[in-house]
Amino acid sequence: MTRKGKDTNTESKILDAARQVFIEKGLAGARMQDIADRAEINKAMLHYYFKNKEMLFELIFRETAGKLFPHFEMLLDSDLGFFDKIRSIVSSYIETMVQNPYLPLFVMNEMNKNPEIGMKNFFEAQKPGFVKKFRASIEVSIQEGLIQPINPLHLIMNMFSMCAFPFIAKPMIKLLTGIEDEQFRNLMDQRKVLVAEFIINSIRK
Amino acid sequence: MTRKGKDTNTESKILDAARQVFIEKGLAGARMQDIADRAEINKAMLHYYFKNKEMLFELIFRETAGKLFPHFEMLLDSDLGFFDKIRSIVSSYIETMVQNPYLPLFVMNEMNKNPEIGMKNFFEAQKPGFVKKFRASIEVSIQEGLIQPINPLHLIMNMFSMCAFPFIAKPMIKLLTGIEDEQFRNLMDQRKVLVAEFIINSIRK
DNA sequence: GTCTATATTCAGATAGAC
DNA sequence: GTCTATCTGAATATAGAC
């Protein structure tokens, strides 16, 4: 692990480079040469540290997929009110993607294009407990008469759709609207509150 | 065009095969051999009919991108009320994707991974008039006091997000919820009305 | 651990017979 | 128009010196 220092350094330089290239190009589009260049080493080193392209990819994918739903369970377990839970999840989720705009498309795309690899590693990376918790929380709120009846699955889908999709569709949005990166960024900042209120507005009684 | 018959037949067999393979695997992941196999011809034929892989891809991409927003302008020009316009756009959009589940991810992904190719061909395929029309229609509805004030861009993003994202996230949704294809299909059918009402509920005064 | 050189495999593209 | 055989280049992976 941290035995030498030089080793670890090279290894982490490779991982950093691989993360960049895989997330930007995907498994099929990534080139080992490209990863080597960005890590400022040569191709042989890649295979010295990691058996092959696929192994390296799985590592990056698992790590990335693990970041997709950060600390949501914690938020759901907190003693915030239901609406505030929605507000905080939406806000922190969009912020995560402002920081890593490629993240949602990368994960979705690889799970579609490489089902075996994707499924296996996503499953290992993800603690899917938060979905169950979220559903329960929604059902309770319905029982309490706080919100209108709705299939929890649809509500969850609506929420993550509105958070994630704009990042996936960014190039299309820029083309259709003529906006630039900075304006896009502003829009996404606005959505941190807008999306939550849009949802709450719709379901509150 | 329709000169011979055999020619046209081979050409359209290639296009059918290419559509399948490109949409499923993407430009980087697609193999000419794979396309040839599905078209039940050999690789040489591909290059006889189409100069190279990229040309063939651009053709398919342009054609596909053109299907992304079907007859929305017509709907927006109709004399339906604003809410009914939303209802019909949502419904027909989701139906389009029930028919072609790979469509949204394919277009979004290629525009991200191959910006030059994507941008150029998307632009040619798309009449972006409907966005302007939609924005205007929303602004009028706000002026009339029919709906609450909202940045039209956000409303449009919300709408298409909720329509398209579940298809992009399908493998993840199946994994996180444990549902199967048939149930997924049912959920999407439900969303044809649910999403529209969710939106209307949120913005109506 | 790191490098250069090389092997190997794969995929896009072409030549040329029919 | 269609096919078989082949070329070429690219990309992954390995051998072996230092």
Tell me A152's DSSP state.
H
Instruction: Give the C-alpha distances (Å, rounded to integers) separating A199 from A21, A90, A157, B141, B203.
Output: 36, 10, 11, 20, 10
B89/B177 same-domain check: yes
CATH number at residue B185: 1.10.357.10
A163/A130 same-domain check: yes
Here the tokens at position B47 are: 């290059």
The pLDDT value given to residue B4: 41
B51/B95 same-domain check: no
Question: What is the residue range of B97's domain?
Answer: 67-203
B51/B94 same-domain check: no
Q: How far apart are CA A203 and CA B17, in angstroms?
A: 45
Q: Using the predicted structure, report yes or no on whether residue B1 has a pLDDT greater than 60.
A: no
Sequential pLDDT tens for chain A (205 residues): 434 444 469 999 999 999 999 999 999 999 999 999 999 999 999 999 999 999 999 999 999 999 998 889 999 999 999 999 999 999 999 999 999 999 999 999 999 999 999 999 998 888 778 899 999 999 999 999 999 999 999 999 999 999 999 999 999 999 999 999 999 999 999 999 999 999 999 999 9
Other beta carbons within 10 Å of B150? 19
Q: How far apart are CA B190 and CA B166, in angstroms?
A: 12
Phi, psi torsion values for A204, nearest 5 degrees: -65, 150
The pLDDT value given to residue A1: 40
Nearest-CA residue relative to C1' of C10:
B31
Give tens-digit pLDDT for B72-129: 999 999 999 999 999 999 999 999 999 999 999 999 999 999 999 999 999 888 877 8
Is there a domain that residue A1 lies in? no
Q: Using the predicted structure, report yes or no on whether residue B199 has a pLDDT greater than 60.
A: yes
A86/A35 same-domain check: no
Find the Å distance, CA of residue A99 to C1' of nucleotide D9.
38
User: How much is the average pLDDT of B147-174?
Assistant: 98
Find the Å distance, CA of residue A9 to C1' of nucleotide D12.
24
* H-assigned helices in chain B: 6-29, 32-39, 43-49, 53-66, 72-77, 82-99, 103-113, 115-125, 129-143, 152-168, 170-177, 181-203
Look at B161 and A157 and tell me if their CB atoms are within 8 Å: no
B80/B149 same-domain check: yes
A122/A138 same-domain check: yes
Question: Which candidate from A161, A171, A199 shows the least CB-CB separation from B165?
Answer: A161
Q: How far apart are CA A9 and CA A32, in angstroms?
A: 19
Residue B47 region, left (φ>0) first, then alpha (ψ -120 to 50), else beta? alpha
The pLDDT value given to residue A5: 41
Percent of chain B with pLDDT over 90: 90
CATH number at residue B51: 1.10.10.60
Is there a domain that residue B1 lies in? no
Query: Are A56 and A18 a contacting pair, CB within 8 Å?
Result: yes
A199/A104 same-domain check: yes
A119/A197 same-domain check: yes
Here the tokens at position B191 are: 């969303």
Nearest alpha carbon to residue A90 among A20, A195, A18, A203: A195
The pLDDT value given to residue B2: 36
Q: How many domains, in total, are found in chain A? A: 2
- When the pLDDT of each residue in chain B is averaged and rounded to a whole number, the result is 94
The pLDDT value given to residue B117: 97
Nucleotides of D under 7 A from a protein CB: 1-5, 11-16
Q: How far apart are CA B40 and CA B48, in angstroms?
A: 15
